[in-house]
Amino acid sequence: MSLTFDILLLLLLIVTALAVAWTKDLLAAAIIFSSYSLMMCLLWQHRGAPDVAMTEAAVGAGITTVLFLVAIGRTTRREK
Amino acid sequence: MLEALWNNVDYVASVVLFCIGLYIIIAKNNLIKKFLGLNIMETAVFAFIIALGVVDDGSPPIMGEGASGPFASPIPHALVLTGIVVAVSTTALALSLIIRIYRQCGTIEADELREME
Amino acid sequence: MKKALVAALLIIISIPMLIAVAAMPPHGDADSPVHTHVSARYIEHGEEEAGAENLVTGVLLNYRGLDTAGEVIVIFTALMAAFAVLITHPGRGEESGPTTAALDPEPGTEPESDSKAPPPISPVVSFMVRLLTPFTTLFAIYVILNGHVTPGGGFQGGAILGGMFIALTIVLGEDKVRTLLPRRAAPWMQGAAVFAFVAIGVIGAATTGYFLGYPTDASLHLVRELMMVVIEIGIGLGGAAIFATIFLQMEAE
Amino acid sequence: MYTWPHWLPLVVLTPLLGAALTPIVSLRTRHVAPWWALGMMTVTSVAAGMLILRVALEGPFSYLPGGWVRPYGIELRFDEFSASISVICLIGWLAVLYSFRYTEWLREVPKQRIPYYYALLLLNLGGMIGFVVTGDLFNLFVFLEILSLSGYALVAVSGEHIAEMAAFKYLLMGAISSLIVLFSVGILFGITGSLNMADVASRLGDTGSVAPAALALGMLTVGFMVKAALFPVHIWLPDAHSIAPSPISAVLSGLVVKLGILGMLRLYQIYYTSGIIDLFVLNQILVWLGAISIIMGAFFAVFQDDIKLMLAYSTISNIGYIVMGLGLFTNFSIIGGSVHVFNHAIIKATLFFAAGAMIYRTGYRTLSDLRGIGSSMPLTSIAISIGAISIVGIPPTAGFLCKWYIALGAFEANQPFFGFVLIFGALLIFVYYIRMVNAFYFQAPVRQEVVDATEAPASMLYPTLLLAALCLIMGVLGRIPLAFIEPAVQRLLTPLGG
């Protein structure tokens, strides 16, 4: 059960990372990146690192995403 | 070899994510996209370091009543905490620069910027 | 074409990396060097030596305190950098001389720059943010103060506080939130983490003879805990102030 | 006096704390900021002097923050290579002084940015000092990040649109290289379970994990190569170093790129002591990359008209000399390379300061515009000429001794080809020097501003002259740093076991 969960999580991480690469809409890419961070946070919680998981949730998925959103708002949403 | 890779599947996933991030940085033209790639790369490195400290059937390194070993190593966790802060600092600076570049040049596509130079 | 080339290059790069990680000590093995060398001592004696039940906090603030001091300086550097890159016109209340930033070519001509007028905030979102603010604050304070016992600590709490700040800015508008960070106090808040670290470090140097040293005597464990809490509060306040300021600065650009 | 143990944390923390206080002291008026930064650098220099005195008298020593013994805590280690903080303090102090007038003059810099400029400069210098004195791999990474982040921002501070693009290019490559460094620190931690450099070195040999150790070595080398701007990964340097304000160019070109080299030296200490991998292949690669950098950097420098761009390319060439010296891996060549780290810092700072003074007075930055400046700014022109002579390596100056030692090393290692590469590179640089002297002294001015120019203000002129004098003095007294570095190199070349 645990191993299945792990493999699933790792595969999902790779899929979301590829999705960030393929998405042309920067706003969508930033949100997908946020979900990637949340999944990473789940993985770390599972690996016995609650401190890091908490930081990643607050900083990686929270603050970093907000900063990206501000930057996209100030510049452009479309990738050419 | 394959068995060793299977045992170290966390490390392998980190390497794959690292390379995906690097691919985004090199192959994509948009500066914000490049930075999303760098963040993926950073997270991959953190995942690698966290995986170093994992112990089978281990619990988080928090002592106190009711806690029983084996405990995961606390050092990688401390390192990654520092690393996450460094990552968000770099991101903040890079995005500030991107905003300024857009202000001055009206584009954030690397090839168009290169033509302007 | 370029993309295929890059992908091929990266596959070539990944092969030695995969070979190397396959030869690493097995993942999760309790006998690997990671678990038998330095961390063995941390896990065995960390609680009484470092004075924190949460060993990660013990490592961060005590064993490897200098790293954390460096970390707060890194984020302070990011703030200074954001100022140095983004300031283009006199800030509020500062010397209101003639503006020197007449550089921007024609900012009005870009199609996307009409984003100046944001869409109105939904009343539901606005209400929820305001409703959650006290609870978020309470949670952040809990996370900061209990960092040495439970998962969390100054930095996590600071990020939560900073995030709350940002949400409030979006809902209430910049001016109301700015009053929380008055101009005279702002630099003190932003540097709080660095100051807390240096102050505790110097106290440690004066009492134990080592920079960032904590009293090891069992009877003084409350003092030690207090010193840690001071650092955590400093990191929390400083982190929150820095995140909020960077956000405001990027918004104001 | 010099045995007071706390000089070591003091030398790291003074500039960093000073930076954190800069926005506060300049709340009332921003004119306090430069004086504050100068004061902080003065304190730092005093502490550095004490430390160097101690290492000269007693040999290497450590400081244990928190009192945790190796390998349980972080160790600050001061050895002969750490004595390079003398150059960091010297050039840092002069750069702050030089900035007094220079930043006020930069039109594109809004005046509100100026306190943050000084804060970033202090952070950059503090980060460098920390990088040099730390004995812990992860701590090394943290200080690397402090100095890199402040470096990126300092490139962008001048506010021209090219500046921000140059800074972004620098940031992207720098951030990737930092990540690579972090990854390999993780690998080393994974196979040894320790982060202390000396402890890693002693444990690495027994682990038997050759493949991960080799990967870590390769990746660390690549990471530090990017920071040092060696040939294939140098592309960020010319733009960043030519567009930054001149005092920052001096700091970046003279000091920051050298930290990549110092990082490599630390790496060599670890790997050579442990003996886990034969470094021969790596050395060969480094020698070749160094040789290509020498030729390529000098070649591009010859064709530049922009004086600061020319100096930036010459930095790549000189990094090539240093790396070639390390890669040849003989006694002479390593000594030559490490002393060139010191000397090139002084020479390049002289050149950038002098070039900055000319740009400050005339507003032009190309050789064709600056023709005939030798008669209107004689002292600055003399300083830039002395710098140029030194960088070519003509005997009585600082550059000669290092290149001589590296060339000796090439012959000692039985690879005379690289000795010739070195001489050829020096000849190429000589061509550019001739061009510069020709333009400054023997051509008629084409710009009115050049004719009307007077010497730069004292806060810019005296640092330039002092450094130019040092270029000459170091040529005569070059034996002092040489004697200083020699025992350290001997220790580096003697593996722990043998």
Asked if the Cβ–Cβ distance from B60 to A75 is below 8 Å, we say no
D177-234 residue pLDDT tens: 999 999 999 999 999 999 999 899 888 888 878 899 999 999 999 999 999 999 888 8
* pLDDT for res C117: 56
* pLDDT for res D430: 86
**Of residues C203, C211, C194, C199, the one with CA closest to residue D62:** C211
Q: Per-residue pLDDT for C112 more than 60?
A: no
Report whether D276 contacts D210 (CB < 8 A): yes
CA Rg value for chain A: 14
* pLDDT for res A5: 85
Q: How many Cα atoms sit within 13 Å of B59 on the Cβ side?
A: 11
- The CA distance from B95 to D27, in Å, is 27
Asked if the Cβ–Cβ distance from D164 to B97 is below 8 Å, we say yes
Examine residue A6 and state whether it is found in any structural domain, yes or no: yes
Per-residue DSSP letter, B106: S
CA Rg value for chain B: 19
Tell me the nearest-neighbour CA distance from B76 into chain A, angstroms. Answer: 9
Asked if the Cβ–Cβ distance from C155 to B86 is below 8 Å, we say no
Question: Cβ neighbours of residue C158 under 8 Å, at least 6 residues apart?
Answer: C140, C144, C235, C236, C237, C238, C239, C240, C243
C217-252 residue pLDDT tens: 778 888 888 999 999 999 999 999 999 999 998 888
How is residue A66 written in tokens? 């907000």
- Share the mean pLDDT of chain D: 88
Alpha helix locations (H) across D59-113?
A: 85-105
Q: Per-residue pLDDT for A65 more than 80?
A: yes
CA Rg value for chain D: 22
Examine residue A79 and state whether it is found in any structural domain, yes or no: no
Phi, psi at C183, each rounded to 5°: -60, -40
Hey, which residues 8-27 in chain A have their CB within 8 Å of chain B? Answer: 10, 13-14, 17-18, 20-21, 26
Q: Per-residue pLDDT for C103 more than 50?
A: no
**In total, how many domains does chain C have?**
1
**Of residues D161, D154, D164, the one with CA closest to residue C103:** D161
3-class secondary structure, D357: helix
ipTM surpassing 0.85 = yes
Hey, which residues 36-55 in chain B have their CB within 8 Å of chain C? Answer: 48, 51-55
Determine the Cα angle at D202 with ends D200 and D206, to 5°. 100
Report whether D270 contacts D200 (CB < 8 A): yes
Q: Residue B79 is nearest to which of D138, D145, D178, comparing CB atoms?
A: D138
Phi, psi at B109, each rounded to 5°: -95, 130
Averaged pLDDT, D344-361: 92
* pLDDT for res C150: 85
Chains with 3+ CB–CB pairs under 8 A to C are: A, B, D
D183 interface with B at CB cutoff 8 Å? yes
pLDDT category, C102, cuts 50, 70, 90?
A: very low
What secondary structure, in 3-state letters, does chain C show?
CHHHHHHHHHHHHHHHHHHHHHCCCCCECCCCHHHHCHHHHHHHHHHHHHCCCEHHHHHHHHHCHHHHHHHHHHHHHHHHHHHHHHCCCCCCCCCCCCCCCCCCCCHHHCHHHHHHCCCCCCHHHHHHHHHHHHHHHHHHHHHHHCCCCCCCCHHHHHHHHHHHHHHHHHHHCHHHHHCCCCCCCHHHHHCHHHHHHHHHHHHHHHHHCCCCCCCCCHHHHHHHHHHHHHHHHHHHHHHHHHHHHHHHHHHHC
Other Cβ atoms less than 10 A from the Cβ of D187: the count is 28
C133-170 residue pLDDT tens: 999 999 999 999 988 888 888 899 999 999 998 989 88
pLDDT category, C89, cuts 50, 70, 90?
A: low
Q: Per-residue pLDDT for C92 more than 50?
A: no
Q: Residue B8 is nearest to which of C27, C68, C253, comparing CB atoms?
A: C27
Asked if the Cβ–Cβ distance from B61 to C81 is below 8 Å, we say no
**In total, how many domains does chain A have?**
1
Residue A47 belongs to what domain range? 2-74
Residue-range domains of chain B with CATH: 2-56+71-116 (1.10.287.3510)
Q: Per-residue pLDDT for B22 more than 70?
A: yes
Residue of D117 and D162 predicted with greater confidence: D117
Question: Cβ neighbours of residue D144 under 8 Å, at least 6 residues apart?
Answer: D127, D131, D178, D181, D227, D259, D263
Determine the Cα angle at C8 with ends C2 and C9, to 5°. 90
Examine residue C14 and state whether it is found in any structural domain, yes or no: no
Asked if the Cβ–Cβ distance from C7 to B27 is below 8 Å, we say yes
Residue C141 belongs to what domain range? 54-87+120-253
Asked if the Cβ–Cβ distance from D142 to C71 is below 8 Å, we say yes
Residue A73: exposure state from Cβ atoms within 10 A (0-12, 13-18, ≥19): middle
Tell me the nearest-neighbour CA distance from B100 into chain A, angstroms. Answer: 9
- The CA distance from B82 to C71, in Å, is 6
Element of type H or E holding A57 = none
Report whether C23 contacts B4 (CB < 8 A): yes
Per-residue DSSP letter, B30: B
* pLDDT for res D154: 93
pLDDT category, D41, cuts 50, 70, 90?
A: very high
pLDDT category, D484, cuts 50, 70, 90?
A: confident
Please give the model's pTM, rounded to 2 decimal places.
0.93
Q: What is the residue whose two structure tokens read 């305001």?
A: C130
Chains A and D touch (3+ CB pairs under 8 A): no
Q: What is the residue whose two structure tokens read 């567009």?
A: D243
Phi, psi at D74, each rounded to 5°: -95, 135
* pLDDT for res D497: 41
Averaged pLDDT, C61-84: 93
Asked if the Cβ–Cβ distance from B38 to D149 is below 8 Å, we say no
Q: Residue A54 is nearest to which of C112, C152, C243, comparing CB atoms?
A: C152
Q: Per-residue pLDDT for D395 more than 90?
A: no
Bond into B70 cis (ω within 30): yes
| Pairs of residues, one from chain A and one from chain B, whose beta carbons lie less than 8 Å apart | 130
Q: What is the residue whose two structure tokens read 């907000």?
A: A66
Asked if the Cβ–Cβ distance from D182 to B45 is below 8 Å, we say yes
Examine residue C103 and state whether it is found in any structural domain, yes or no: no
Q: How many Cα atoms sit within 13 Å of D432 on the Cβ side?
A: 30
